[in-house]
């Protein structure tokens, strides 16, 4: 039977870390816990902490899933009742459903951007990207000929790999900046495909407003490419293909065929006019304070606020966040003639204006809630705290959710990780 040392008074709280034997089993936990709590606001608790028996033999009981009462602590051998009172007072768990962790992420520059055009001689390093359609009625090129791909690797701010269904996106906004001056007219509404048919086509309708919208789509891949292996310098199309041919690009603007309900197939929308349908973009570009029909000045920020209430938007964003890579395609059916036309252009990250001033880069703001929480938040309540510590101590010496470093045993290194993420 070990002798019990008398409790220290709060005035001597600096010495209270002597509770527990830092060389043995659960004593490591008590030692580290009392060190962590020996701030002035925990002085009274520290006095009680010194009643922990020292030393404490290595724990050999079966791991327990969670501490819910003093009786669980009492089941651990060689723990002094005063220690039970101390730890259980910290580990009271409130009933109720767990809440996920929320991540409010801001990306001030893209990981990559690319003018996705068949005759781009400098893919991945061009300083501007223009977006436009092909000549009405032409058999050459995609209808959405010039596209602009913007990509963000999100895993540094939002944990990836939790499973797509574990994410809920509550907000997502992309901003890009105009690189040409008073060339394109502002149109914040989707135009039907009929407005881009030749006027001789019986289905042609006149565009009811000035300009053509800038539309944002998911980016799809084919010909052996995927979001995992496509980079901004990847080839535009397979070797040997005519660059004049439609439907050959390896990366393309993509949308569901159902108009956003989430039941249709994801398809290439680059030739929606030829295919005679009007796809639903993830968002249409808007400009604060500018009247529709106005010419757009250089340096103007265009904002794409994705409608996260739509099933297709949630699906695309969840898959992207789960994989840690979000790739978006900016397009327009801005009307052109062969080797001419007035169409919008946007800054790329390599532009000297961007590199010199830090302004004009594409930015992304996204808010994501995870149903499966970050490792130290063991009960998934949105914070690392006493309840998570309870779970870890309940599994001490065995395997389970408290094994934060993945070495197969819940022990002192895992406790250190949890305390390091406290709060």
Give me the DSSP letters along 241-258: --TTSSS--SEEEEEETT
pLDDT of residue 184 exceeding 90 = yes
Position with higher pLDDT, 160 vs 25: 160
CA dist 395 and 410 (Å) reads 6
Token reading at 346: 């946007």
CA dist 227 and 271 (Å) reads 21
Across the range 89-99, mean pLDDT stands at: 42
Among 332, 354, 327, 353, smallest CA distance to 112 is for 327
Across the range 172-190, mean pLDDT stands at: 97
pLDDT of residue 260 exceeding 60 = yes
Give the DSSP letter of residue 203. T
3-class SS at 185?
A: strand
Quick count: other Cβ atoms within 10 Å of Cβ 48? 19
CA dist 416 and 332 (Å) reads 53
pLDDT score, position 8 = 44
Among 43, 317, 281, 25, smallest CA distance to 169 is for 317
pLDDT of residue 105 exceeding 60 = yes
- Give me the half-sphere count of Cα atoms (radius 13 Å) on the Cβ side of residue 194: 8
Average pLDDT, the chain: 82
**Sign of the C-alpha dihedral, residues 386, 388, 389, 394?**
positive
Among 62, 53, 270, smallest CA distance to 148 is for 270
* 415-418, Cβ contacts within 8 angstroms, sequence gap of 24 or more: 415/28, 415/29, 415/32, 415/33, 415/389, 416/32, 417/375, 417/376, 418/376, 418/378, 418/384, 418/388, 418/389, 418/392
State the residue for tokens 């020996």.
Answer: 38
Are 169 and 104 contacting, i.e. CB atoms less than 8 angstroms apart? no
pLDDT score, position 339 = 61
In angstroms, how far is CA 253 from the centroid of its own chain? 20
pLDDT score, position 100 = 72
pLDDT band at 9 (very low <50, low <70, confident <90, very high): very low
Across the range 10-17, mean pLDDT stands at: 39
pLDDT score, position 383 = 83
pLDDT band at 72 (very low <50, low <70, confident <90, very high): very low
Across the range 381-398, mean pLDDT stands at: 87
pTM here is 0.70
pLDDT of residue 81 exceeding 60 = no
CA dist 119 and 275 (Å) reads 24
Q: Name which of 143-157, 313-327, 351-365, 400-414 the model is least confident about.
A: 400-414
What is the percent of the chain with per-residue pLDDT over 90, rounded to a whole number? 62
pLDDT of residue 293 exceeding 50 = yes
pLDDT of residue 198 exceeding 50 = yes
pLDDT score, position 340 = 61
Are 331 and 131 contacting, i.e. CB atoms less than 8 angstroms apart? yes
pLDDT of residue 45 exceeding 80 = no
Across the range 73-94, mean pLDDT stands at: 43
pLDDT score, position 361 = 97
Across the strands, what pairs with 364? 107, 174
pLDDT score, position 263 = 79
Highest mean pLDDT among 27-31, 203-207, 393-397: 203-207
CA dist 78 and 97 (Å) reads 34
CA dist 63 and 26 (Å) reads 12
Q: Name which of 274-288, 327-341, 350-364 the model is least confident about.
A: 327-341
In angstroms, how far is CA 312 from the centroid of its own chain? 16
Position with higher pLDDT, 61 vs 163: 163
What is the percent of the chain with per-residue pLDDT over 70, rounded to a whole number? 75
Among 301, 279, 149, 161, smallest CA distance to 221 is for 149
Are 255 and 280 contacting, i.e. CB atoms less than 8 angstroms apart? yes
Q: Name which of 26-35, 179-188, 230-239, 330-339 the model is least confident about.
A: 26-35
pLDDT of residue 280 exceeding 50 = yes
pLDDT tens digit string along 127-157?
A: 999 999 999 999 999 999 999 999 999 999 9
Across the range 330-335, mean pLDDT stands at: 95
pLDDT of residue 6 exceeding 50 = no
pLDDT of residue 289 exceeding 70 = yes
pLDDT of residue 317 exceeding 60 = yes
């Amino acid at each position: 039977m070990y002798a019990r040392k008398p409790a220290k008074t709060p005035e001597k709280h600096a010495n209270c870390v002597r509770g527990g034997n830092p060389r043995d089993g659960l004593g490591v936990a008590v030692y580290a816990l009392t060190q962590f709590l020996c701030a002035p606001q925990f002085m009274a608790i520290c006095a009680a902490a010194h009643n922990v028996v020292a030393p404490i033999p290595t724990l050999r009981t079966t791991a327990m899933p969670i501490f819910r009462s003093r009786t669980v602590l009492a089941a651990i051998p060689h723990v002094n009742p005063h220690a039970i009172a101390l730890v259980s007072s910290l580990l009271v768990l409130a009933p109720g459903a767990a809440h996920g962790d929320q991540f409010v992420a801001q990306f001030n520059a893209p990981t990559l951007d690319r003018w996705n055009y068949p005759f781009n001689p400098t893919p991945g390093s061009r300083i501007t990207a223009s977006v436009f359609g092909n000549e009405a009625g032409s058999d050459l090129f995609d209808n959405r000929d010039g596209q602009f791909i913007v990509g963000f690797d999100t895993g540094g701010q939002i944990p990836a790999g939790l499973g797509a269904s574990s994410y809920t996106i509550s907000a997502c906004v992309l901003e890009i900046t105009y690189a040409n001056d008073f060339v394109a007219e502002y149109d914040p509404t989707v135009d039907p495909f009929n407005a881009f048919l030749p006027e001789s086509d019986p289905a042609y309708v006149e565009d009811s407003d000035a300009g053509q919208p800038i539309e944002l789509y998911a980016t799809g891949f084919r010909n052996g490419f995927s979001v995992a292996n496509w980079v901004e310098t990847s080839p535009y199309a397979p070797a040997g293909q005519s660059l004049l041919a439609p439907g050959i690009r390896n990366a393309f603007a993509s949308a569901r065929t159902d108009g956003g309900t989430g039941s249709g197939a994801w398809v290439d929308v680059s030739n929606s006019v030829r295919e005679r349908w009007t796809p639903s973009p993830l968002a249409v570009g808007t400009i604060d304070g500018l009247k529709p029909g106005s010419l757009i000045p250089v340096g103007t920020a265009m904002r794409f606020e994705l409608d996260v209430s739509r099933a297709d938007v949630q699906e695309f964003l969840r898959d992207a966040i789960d994989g840690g890579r979000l790739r978006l395609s900016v397009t327009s059916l801005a009307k052109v003639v062969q080797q001419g036309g007035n169409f919008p252009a946007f800054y790329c990250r390599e532009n000297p204006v961007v590199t010199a001033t830090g302004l004009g880069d594409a930015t992304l703001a996204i808010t994501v809630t995870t149903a499966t929480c970050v490792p130290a938040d063991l009960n998934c309540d949105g914070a690392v705290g006493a309840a998570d510590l309870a779970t870890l101590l309940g599994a001490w010496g065995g395997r389970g959710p408290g094994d934060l470093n993945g070495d197969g045993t819940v022990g002192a290194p895992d406790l250190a990780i949890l305390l390091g993420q406290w709060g």
